[in-house]
Chain A
Amino acid sequence: MKEFAQAPCTLIFDKFVRVYFSCRPQPDENGQYVSYSAYVDLKRSDLSEIINVAQNPILELGELGTFDEFGTYPISVIRKGKEVLAYYGGWTRCESVPFTVAIGAAVSRNGGKSFTKLGKGPILSSNVYDPFVLSGPKIRRFGDRWYLWYVAGTKWLANSGKPEAVYRIRMAFSDDELNWTRDGRNSIESRIDENECQASPDVFFYKSRYHMFFCYKYALDFRNNERGYRIGYAVSDDMVHWHRDDAQAGIEISTEGWDDQSIAYPHVFELDSTVYMLYLGNQVGRFGFGLAKLEEYRP
């Protein structure tokens, strides 16, 4: 692995916090990347101290012709008894559009060090409601039900032969973590324009309400400029109806440094009575991820 540490998510242990992320080896001769997921363990009492780094990817790429042949990214994990479940975006390459993504599932029985796929195929793939890319899963459990927030492609823009996807945040729910119900409803209304792209729907229950941090950007011409990702925010009492209020996100790009152009892929977690946010900076994690601490919350 060489560059990128994308889409962080955490699993908390007694002595450390395991942060999963996705990274890439050098691109191939055509400049194309594959993407793997791995982790780093941060000392629980001092998250700035790295105590361990995964030596191998936690998931293998899929075999010839499968949905995750060219990437397993991003990944979201959750504990279920002694197991750790993972949901991830599996990438393959297409001819008319550059790629498509479907959501896969895997299980770990060694505390999240490595995962075995539940099958060769995806657990969520395109259907009548979700015709295109399905990616960015975030698995949660509230009460007796499993929830999966994800990113659904709503169209491909032709963009003079360099197609770009438009995608929105949606939610699926399940009683058994295997069979998912979807309705094709967008969770978060668009703000910047009709082709706003939304990703990383990170839902967090805090002080009796559901909070979602996510990121959003313009669909076209968004690389290396001010049209790239920003972190957005919405709040809900029922997980279905969300009130978007990006002004309340409370985090912006820096004036200079690794996160002075864009910030993306937020993941919020509570640890020992403090709420933290992990996030990516410029070029969607090419230079790693950063950590922020919640200073103030006013409902």
Chain B
Amino acid sequence: MKWKKLGRIFDPIDYKLANNCVEYAQSPQALVFDDFVRIYFSTRERDRTGKYLSHVSYVEMSKDFRETFNISTRTVIELGGLGCFDEHGIFPFNILRYKDRVLAYTTGWNRRVSVSVDASIGLAISNDGGLTFQRIGEGPVLSASLHEPFLVGDAFVVPCADAYHMWYIHGTNWSRFTNDEPPDRVYKIAHATSNDGISWQREGRQIIVDKLGLDECQALPSVIFLNGQYHMFFCYRQPDGFRECRDRGYRIGYAFSEDLKNWIRNDAEVGIDVAEDGWDSEMLCYPCVFRCDDKVCLLYNGNEFGRSGFGIAELEDPKIKSTSSNIYSHIKRDL
């Protein structure tokens, strides 16, 4: 694959954001309309204690991503109440249109004491075309289980002919890699299916092999069907030193599958890497692959986990372009 970077298309510092948010536009995810694209992202407010709360926001853009029409000025989804799984933030926000509804699978964050946080996956539904969302309950649809003990998040859901498929991540261990640093977490990509989008059956295994060893962190899977194969983009990094050290930070990885069961990892084929300098020169993370008319696009964040916004790249591969009309030939995702 080869991606052509169109550059950074959104920098949160240029806008006044709802919920007192400043900086950060993380995990951009697109909802495509006839004449524009709405891109949801998570931005951050500092609470009274100086810690961050992640809020969902969106920006509406032209389909060539050169013009910004509109940015949300209202709360898209309220954070959960006292003691809820999503009390301290929602990030990411996986948006999808299914039949006549707009749904979002949220990753809700809540703060802990011995480690910084835990996370679970929630479901929210919009009744106004995606402007605002209401959670289906105060609790999550997917949370810790016997062999996925914590940090269940980063859902990416696709309604297929046979079932809803969800790719997501879960924590495997919290480790103190450096004595004077707080514990860091290790997480892996997994897969579950559901008949109703609410009750999920986990496959119960790591589906993407490690490249950086047992403690590799894998995040934000995003899947698309092209040329008779499923393609997954995700990000991965070293478990420690990833904030400050360029070589240990997030990069975008790639895997493909014929059957949604067996995935072959081949990062060399991802076709996108960090830039020499600028906003995406130290890390690439939180990819979201989607189809926009006859183009295949990849939204992603750069340095500091998206502190200074997100960019987009367009797939250049002519072979893939020529069959783009059949992209969703057997996925019932009404994009």
Contact = CB atoms under 8 A, between A and B. Distances in A.
Given A69-B114, A92-B114, A121-B147, A128 B141 contact: yes
A66 B144 CA distance: 9
Interface string B160-195: 000000000001011110000001010000000000
B268 interface: no
Contacts of A285: none
Contacts of A137: none
Interface stretch (A6-14, A96-104, A237-245, A269-277): A96-104
A129 to B, nearest CB: 7
A65 B114 contact: yes
A57 to B, nearest CB: 19
Given A92-B112, A163-B83, A120 B149 contact: yes
A131 B120 CA distance: 11
Nearest to B82: A156
A123 B118 CA distance: 17
B144 A122 contact: yes
Contacts of B120: 126
Contact of B145 (A93, A94, A125, A163): A125
Interface in B85-142: 85, 87-88, 110-115, 118, 120, 123, 136-141
Contact of A131 (B84, B88, B150): B84
Kindly name the residue among B120, B138, B141 whose own CB sees the greatest number of chain A CB atoms within 10 A. B138
B144 A65 contact: no
B147 A119 contact: yes
Interface in A212-232: none
B18 to A, nearest CB: 22
A128 B183 CA distance: 29
B144 A121 contact: yes
A27 to B, nearest CB: 15
Kindly name the residue among A102, A120, A123 whose own CB sees the greatest number of chain B CB atoms within 10 A. A120
A292 interface: no
A96 B147 contact: no
Q: What is the predominant secondary structure among interface residues of chain B facing chain A?
A: loop
Interface residues of A, number: 37
A126 B143 contact: yes
A239 B176 CA distance: 47
A94 B111 contact: yes
A94 B82 contact: no
A121 B183 contact: no
A127 interface: yes
B146 A64 contact: no
A118 interface: yes
Interface in A105-143: 105, 118-123, 125-132
Interface residues of B, number: 38
Nearest to B117: A95
Given A120-B149, A128-B198, A129-B139, A67 B144 contact: yes
A101 to B, nearest CB: 11
Contact of A119 (B87, B141, B146): B146
A153 interface: yes
A121 B174 contact: no
B150 A121 contact: yes
Given A94-B110, A156-B83, A65 B183 contact: yes
A158 interface: yes
A128 B139 CA distance: 4
Nearest to A132: B83
B148 interface: yes
Contacts of B82: 96-97, 155-156, 158, 163
Interface string B55-99: 000000000000000000000000001111101100000000000
A96 B143 contact: no
Contacts of B176: 64
Nearest to B198: A128
Interface in A253-279: none
Kindly name the residue among A93, A127, A165 whose own CB sees the greatest number of chain B CB atoms within 10 A. A127
Given A96-B87, A121-B150, A128 B110 contact: no
Contact of B143 (A63, A92, A125): A125
B143 A65 contact: no
A105 B145 CA distance: 11
B111 A96 contact: yes
A64 B114 contact: yes
Interface of B: 81-85, 87-88, 110-115, 118, 120, 123, 136-141, 143-150, 171, 173-176, 183, 185, 198
Leading 5 A-B pairs by shortest Cβ distance: A131-B139, A121-B149, A119-B146, A65-B174, A95-B111
Interface of A: 63-67, 69-70, 92-97, 100, 102, 105, 118-123, 125-132, 153, 155-156, 158, 163, 165, 178
6 contacts: A64-B183, A65-B174, A65-B183, A95-B111, A96-B87, A130-B139
